[in-house]
Amino acid sequence: MAYEIPVTQARAELAELINRVVYGGERVVVTRHGKPLVALVSAADLERLERREAEADERAADEPVISTVSTVRHLPSTPGDPGRFGIAAEHRAPGSGPRR
């Protein structure tokens, strides 16, 4: 788990935080109002992350497209029972008379 520190405190302790990351192998998350803002990680961690992202991008580029649409058929709409699809009321223009 990463060490969390508010941004105001991190400003004052930046040199110490860098040492914790570089020499202590820690990961530091700088927060503002309790929400993560930025992370300090070692250069080795960053290289691993970038390598994994590149590998994931390569895998995604190699995946075939699952399907494509070659034609679109237009079908007539089905007249019929308005209740068939759970339609509860029929459309009336405003002021067209009383409801049944």
Residue 88 pLDDT more than 60? no
**What is the pLDDT of the chain when averaged over all its residues?**
82
* Residue 93 to residue 56: CA distance in whole angstroms: 55
* Residue 91 to residue 30: CA distance in whole angstroms: 57
The pTM score is 0.56
* Structural domains present in the chain: 3-61 (3.40.1620.10)
Q: Which residues pair with 30 in a beta bridge?
A: 5, 38
Q: Where are the beta strands (DSSP E) in the chain?
A: 3-6, 28-32, 35-40
Instruction: List, edge to edge, every strand of the sheet that includes 28-32.
Output: 3-6, 28-32, 35-40
Work out the pLDDT band at 9, boundaries 50, 70, 90. Answer: very high
pLDDT digits (tens, 9 = 90+) for 37-80: 999 999 999 999 999 999 988 888 777 766 666 677 776 666 66
